[in-house]
Structure 1
């Protein structure tokens, strides 16, 4: 019954260029709770299960624990009932977001598409719908043809094309690879915003920054700005808080798989749901989704060359290492933590933002089927998940004024990881010779020696 009470539609909220109606969250509140006792934990679990409240952190009622943060979105018609229940059980709470719709409105562009100049004058401090991101990718390639090429990765469940960008000097030369993807969860808009910012910073600064110039000489950098394209579009056009892809299940009565629980890394073992209406539904099987299969196929073909896998998410301010399904650390755990700590220190140096570093299962919650764990399990040595700003004051509806500081500090963290890896693989700063370039060098050496003699 709460679904009918909590979901309202506004006839006045037409989407620019689209006749669909956008879901409203007027009066919905996000509450922050830190349960103190087992009895409080059990009552909160009961509330979440019976009222089907939207858990933001953690994602499952069974992961609620004493002394740990709990953030829940409560639909407007249930706010007073939930607060009364918390008061009766002497559970303290704080209102993090008094009206979710206010923040949703702030994140949406005020201009219609016809007035937004895209991609000329592209504004990196705004969130952009998928149509504009597609245009941006085309223009980025056109304007930087010496460094950037756009490539086909695959198709989504709704038959949209997934593209990634390759950035490097000598793009056809065999090199090691650094991979970054964004937007695996539709509602985490700060993630695609960062991928675009990252590309902008690389292209603007590679001529003046010796470090970035060295990265492009030594590496191919692959960037996938939006992985979950169908879900991202749905979050713009219908439901700002949509998380999953748009795969239909049960004859279309429910939709969507959590793509970050769909990889074949202890798939379905922990921190998932088999209910297709759940936010963390893991799919009908490992790699059941075309988006997942496209990425898996691509990575497997290049896994010998991919040294670093980065996947950008929100929120919580974490740099997470494998694994999420077990507390047993990977063989290079100490190095992974060391590098992540260097990244967190670099990030904090900008605005003082603190990120927690560690294994997902130890510092956040257990989950299985993640792309981070899968990438490490198939042999990619450095694999990290970034959970970007913030700690919960805005959560999944981070306002646009947070884009620039978030991206600036995250850029420092990512380049710290890249710098460590670059120095590890190229300790003398030299570009690794391929067999072809080595043969050419030997030939030149023979010619020079002959001419001198």
Structure 2
């Protein structure tokens, strides 16, 4: 039977010859590897996820059967899966912050509106600043979130949307900002953090690519910079940082999904992020970069099996945080160095941050673990964001207890000073009343 749609197959080669065969097919047909990213990372016994174009699906299956390579269907109709959640991706026009739906995916126009309204409503703790511009002249903005202070504050830096098709990462950044701002009065931890920490949040770094996933190709990964005199487009921004750039787990072929670029930090998005990073690096305590899929919290490094200087502390905190995640929605995440639990890769922002001596550098790979891949349905946005926030709040609590200065009691409990004064006056009044009664009774 002829198959007329793209499919995602789960394939598990059993021998070295089968691995070599799949690698050759991937090169020949320019297959989109979802897991792992690079054909060199395919190994015998390891499950791989491959998006196969409709024109090759039937032949691919026949070839796998002829070679006795086990396979199954992960997504039977990629376009149908994309269309399935189309209702959650339709633009609703002008954004209203009061009715903004954090449980659907939003196009860039709505995210721009959302950022402006966040800045207007929470101007006492939020500033919105220009990070830079893309090759297509789209503006990249970031939030700085924290209470104004004359004291030097620690910095937590977060970016989302480095890979264009990873929409859940962008959705999480919006969720995170919303939770940070709406909880600031009721949550003592967040209240304290905003006094001693400035959060720098980039909701979408790869704006050109993100827009392209809405208008042209839902599963586009890279940015949209022209390469090789315009014969191909895009650089994998998470292969473009100066962390053993283009050494392992990447490609110098501009048509590859993991093209590292013509040089380290060649892209406008990368340059803009590095500029802000360098500005706040001396006070940065934690760097967080959000991706999907795989349900992992990755520690440095991807380009070597050597561990970072702070590996044990990072691992211990992250392991505890995933225990908290599991309590939220009974979902399993794995913690470990990228080169150990995922695959070798170089030029990633997480490794670059670790090389810059940032104490904590985590790469979050959110849901799922191989059912929907990059096409995570909108009904999983809420549980994904809730469990991820649970993990991060534990990490923030650890930072609070280990790295932040204790605040005075009246600062930790706004209004506590006034309550104490009121209580003092009541006690004085009662004491005075007792004395009057005693005098009159004599």
Same topology, TM > 0.5 = yes
Q: Distance in 2 between matches of 1:108 and 1:308?
A: 36
- SS of the residue corresponding to residue 96 of structure 1 reads strand
Offset, 1:181: 0.4
The alpha carbon displacement at 1:117 in A equals 4.5
Aligned to 2:171: 193
- Measured in 2, the distance between the counterparts of 1:235 and 1:171 equals 40
The number of residue pairs the alignment matches comes to 409
Question: Equivalences for 1:156-235 in 2 at 5 Å?
Answer: 156-170=134-148, 173-235=151-213
Q: CA deviation at 1:173?
A: 4.8
| Deviation at residue 315 of structure 1 after TM alignment | 0.5
In structure 1, the partner of 2:219 is 241
Distance 1:52 1:113 in 2: 33
Which residue, out of 43, 46, 51, partners 2:24?
A: 46
Compare 93-102 and 152-161 and name the one that shifted more: 152-161
Residue 108 of structure 2 is matched in structure 1 by 130
**CA offset at residue 430 of structure 1?**
5.8
Structure 1's 346 and 122: CA in aligned 2 closer, same or farther, altered over 3 A? same
TM-score for both structures, normalised by structure 2:
0.89
**1:421 equivalent among 373, 383, 399:** 399
1:124 shift after superposition:
0.4
Q: CA deviation at 1:428?
A: 3.6
1:155–1:291 contact (8 Å) kept in structure 2: yes
Distance 1:38 1:163, change over 3 A: same
Equivalence for 1:79: 57
Q: Does the alignment pair 1:343 with 2:343?
A: no
1:282 to 243, 250, 260: 260
Aligned: 1:150 with 2:128: yes
- Confirm or deny: 8 A CA contact 1:108 1:127 kept in the other structure: no
Find the residue that maps to 2:101 and give its secondary structure. coil
- The alpha-carbon distance between structure 1 residues 430 and 362, as it changes in their structure 2 partners (threshold 3 A), is farther
Contact 1:343/1:412 (<8 A) preserved: yes
**2:302 corresponds to 1:324:** yes
Alpha-carbon distance in structure 2 between the residues aligned to 1:251 and 1:305: 41
Structure 1: gaps (5+ residues): 7-25, 434-453
Structure 2 unaligned spans of 5+: 412-442
State the match for 2:5 in structure 1: 27
- What CA distance in whole angstroms lies between the structure 1 residues aligned with 2:263 and 2:186? 48
Q: Give per-residue Cα distances to partners, 1:303-342, cap 9 Å, x unaligned.
A: 1101100000000111000111011111111111111111
Q: Aligned partners of 1:326 and 1:366: how far apart in 2?
A: 7
Paired residues of 1:54 and 1:72 also in contact (CA < 8 A): yes
Please say if 1:375 is aligned against 2:353: yes
CA distance in 2, matches of 1:107, 1:280: 27
Offset of 1:194 from its aligned partner? 0.1
Secondary structure in 1 matching 2:99: coil
Contact 1:318 1:356 in 2 (8 A): yes
Instruction: Give 1:432-443 correspondences, 5 Å limit.
Output: none
Structure 1 CA distance for aligned equivalents of residues 150 and 158 of structure 2: 19
Alpha-carbon distance in 2 for matches of 1:171, 1:106: 47
CA RMSD of aligned residues (A): 1.9
1:265/1:377 contact within 8 Å kept = yes
- 1:120 Cα deviation after fit: 4.3
For 2:34, the equivalent position in structure 1 comes to 56
CA distances 1:249-306 after superposition (whole Å, capped 9, x unpaired)? 1221100000101111111111111111111110110110111011111111211101
Deviations 1:119-178 (A, max 9, x none): 441100010011100100000111111111111111112121111111112266530100
User: Does the Cα contact within 8 Å between 2:293 and 2:374 map onto a contact in 1?
Assistant: yes
With over 3 angstroms needed to count, the CA separation of the structure-2 counterparts of 1:115 and 1:247, relative to structure 1, is closer
Cα distance in structure 2, aligned partners of 1:167 and 1:190: 22
Please say if residues 94 and 110 of structure 2, whose CA atoms lie closer than 8 Å, have aligned partners that are also in contact. no
SS at match of 1:95: strand
In structure 2, what is the Cα distance between the partners aligned to 1:171 and 1:299? 20
Aligned residue number for residue 302 of structure 1: 280
What secondary structure does 1:303 align onto?
Answer: helix
Report if aligned partners of 1:107, 1:398 keep a CA contact under 8 Å in 2. no
Which residue of structure 1 lines up, in the alignment, with residue 419 of structure 2?
Answer: none
**Superposed displacement of residue 54, structure 1:** 1.1
Residue aligned with 1:396, SS: coil
Label 1:267 to 1:69 Cα distance change in 2 as closer, same or farther (>3 A): same
> How many Å separate the matches in 2 of 1:309 and 1:125?
25
Superimposed CA distance per residue, residues 31-58 of structure 1 (whole angstroms, 9 cap, x where no aligned partner): 1122222222122112212222111101
Max Rg structure: 2
Question: Are the counterparts in 2 of residues 147 and 171 from structure 1 also a CA contact under 8 Å?
Answer: no
